A and B are shown apart, each in its own frame.
Chain A
Amino acid sequence: MGGLVVVGASLAGLRAVEAARKTGFDGPITLIGAEEHLPYDRPPLSKAFLAKEDTAPPMFRDEQVLRDELGVHLALGRPASGVDTRRRTVRVGDEEYGYGALVIATGARARTVPGWDTLRGVYTLRTLDDAIAVRTALTPGTNLVVVGAGFIGSEVASSARDRGLTVTIVEAQPTPLVRAVGAHMGAACSSLHARNGTTLRCGVGVAAIEGDGAVERVRLSDGTVLKADMVVVGVGASPATQWLAGSGLTLEDGVVCDETLHTGAPGVYAAGDVARWHNPMFSRHMRLEHWTSAAEQGALAARNALDPANARPYATVPYFWSDWYGSRFQFVGIPATDEVRVVDGDTDGAGFTALYREGDRLAGALTLNRPRDIMKYRRLIAGESSWDDGLAFAKTRTT
């Protein structure tokens, strides 16, 4: 068969090329990445990387390891511009790469609001370059307005408070984080902001970001004007599928795949934030923007692409974490809405555990500062434990 081409040089793409070599594949591998950078790790960019001016960029591998040890041809600095699934080629500008197996791992792109980025001092945070720019601007005494109270916005707010900035978060929804953890827990999580000196304003939109060359103020839809020297827009990410328009692949909030991460086109698999695949663990399609699933899907997509006859499904209990103000949120499963019950601690206190029910199944668990418990719930959920089993287990964890 022909070579392996991996489009997207972040975590999922890196794991794809590493897994391919681990399985013994000795054909040519090409790793295509839009950014100039070698693969780097993203979670630290909104956390530890912002804390100090001199923290080194979280690169995964040296160039020598990728080129010489793994034998990967690196095509970095230009985005792929198209794929022809019939001729089995990927286009990068005026160049073409033929493939026997293709892994699409182009991730997601930070959403922006048209017109907001024309002023200096307005940032998004997705890439290493974004993080370097934000970090440089985080100087004490600065007035920071964060647009969006999701996990990225909240982590930026937390880092900025640590560094002595005055921080206001503006969230258009009445409650933050509803899609991630549900309404009740979204409010509980967000209470950390006020407790740590960050102002959170919910249910109000941003009407305009104004200034003369550089940002000076943020005008809200209720008429309030916030003084701002710096704005970070954290309003989510969209799967990077624009380059696949017209490819014939099914694109519906991501590249749609079956449970083996197969897109349906011969030899073409997808992984990471861009993939919407069928997760047998919950019998539904999902698109996750989580570290763990990106790593695991990247590896499995390459294995399956190189040996489709033995393709294995990717079944997982989703997991993500977020660090704010020295506290850690951890979530496993899905934010089911049939019932959410706090089984340990207090949502106004220093830590808690909340469980999520779907039908009679334990479907999810959210903890704040309960590091010993969270993965035990992950295993219960993976074992398709009942809600009653989840509650019984919770009783053994509280004393």
Chain B
Amino acid sequence: MKIVLDRGRCTGLGICESLAPDHFEIDDNGDLVLLDEVAEGDALAEVEAAVAGCPTEALRLEH
């Protein structure tokens, strides 16, 4: 699955980073950096939690 980020919605709260730190990191400016755009295998569950946990619905997964 590919992670799609809507930068217009993201406000850099970082909940995704706390749930899936191999895929998401907030930088010093408060902007989200996608460390890995692809989520598969064991990592998929934590990325799905990160997508569900985003308060601004800025993340989604697509095939």
Chain A residues engaging chain B, CB cutoff 8 angstroms: 41, 43, 291-292, 295-296, 299, 317, 319, 321, 328, 330, 332, 371-372, 374-376, 378-379, 382
Main secondary structure of the interface of A (DSSP, over half): helix
Chain B residues engaging chain A, CB cutoff 8 angstroms: 12-15, 17-18, 21, 25-30, 52-53, 55
**Could you say which residues of chain A place their CB within 8 Å of the CB of B15?**
292, 319, 375
Q: Which residue of A lies closest to B26 (CB)?
A: A371
CA distance A376 to B17 in the complex (A): 8
- Contacts A292-B53, A372-B26 given: A330-B14 contact, CB under 8 Å? yes
Question: Known pairs A321-B13, A371-B27, A375-B15. 4 more at Cβ < 8 A?
Answer: A291-B55, A319-B15, A332-B18, A376-B17
A sample of 8 inter-chain contacts (CB < 8 A) reads A291-B55, A371-B12, A371-B14, A371-B26, A372-B25, A374-B14, A375-B18, A376-B17
CA distance A319 to B30 in the complex (A): 17
Q: How far is the CB of A58 from chain B (nearest CB, A)?
A: 9
**Could you say which residues of chain B place their CB within 8 Å of the CB of A299?**
52
CA distance A351 to B32 in the complex (A): 19
**Could you say which residues of chain B place their CB within 8 Å of the CB of A319?**
15, 18
Q: Which residue of B lies closest to A323 (CB)?
A: B11
Q: Among the interface residues A43, A295, A371, A379, which one has the most CB atoms of the partner chain B within 10 A?
A: A371
**Could you say which residues of chain B place their CB within 8 Å of the CB of A379?**
18, 21
**Is the Cβ of B55 less than 8 Å from the Cβ of A375?**
no
Q: Which residue of A lies closest to B28 (CB)?
A: A372
**Could you say which residues of chain A place their CB within 8 Å of the CB of B29?**
371
Q: How far is the CB of B61 from chain A (nearest CB, A)?
A: 14
